Amino acid sequence: MLRRSLWLCLCLCSCPARGLRIHEYLYFQVLSPGDIRYIFTATLAKDFGGVFNTRYEQIYLVPADPPEACGELNNGVFIQDQIALVERGGCSFLSKTRVIQEHGGRAVIIADNAYDNDSFYIEMIQDSTRRTADIPALFLLGRDGYMIRRSLEQHGLPWAVISIPVNVTSIPTYETMQPPWTFW
């Protein structure tokens, strides 16, 4: 019985669930604006980009302009030393990550361009160009990205303030502020 339980645990912890393993999720919390003060779930790129070696208690999440970030940015000066929020589409995930890195961004969060996507995570992979990126690249559900951008637009704000990464294992379940539109 113990051997069967151990095997089941190893299988569940190492087998992909919808293409992801449990330990590949990364969490961040929006601190401002207050109407979206939730903990969001993201996934790291599969085979490119860096990792978070630092926990940022308060850092700006700056929506890229243009949103797809496939070339020169109109607001690149605001991305330097911050985290960029980018939309999927127009070019590869790696290309977007490199654009943000070239503008001095500390990381990039790429939101799905399907605004109704509230449950399907895309596996971001290398684009076969042999290029690399050093900053962390994360994938965010389309609904979450849309709600963050919408809140910023409604408040006339150029960026959100976030904390990243967040260790959700240290937060009691009843205190976890999750977006009401997302099932955990």
pLDDT of residue 57: 96
- Min mean pLDDT across 1-15, 16-30, 159-173 is at 1-15
Q: Could you please report the per-residue DSSP string of 13-54? A: HHS-BTTB-GGGEEEEEEEESGGG--EEEEEE-SSSS----S
What is the biggest distance separating any 2 CA atoms in the chain, rounded to whole angstroms?
61
pLDDT of residue 174: 66
CB proximity list for 1: less than 8 A, separation 6 or greater: none
As a whole number of angstroms, the distance between CA 126 and CA 173 comes to 35
pLDDT digits (tens, 9 = 90+) for 10-28: 333 333 333 334 448 999 9
Is the CB of residue 84 less than 8 Å from the CB of residue 69?
Answer: yes
Is the CB of residue 30 less than 8 Å from the CB of residue 51?
Answer: no
Domain architecture of the chain: domains with CATH: 44-167 (3.50.30.30)
Burial class (CB in 10 A: 0-12, 13-18, 19+), 174: exposed
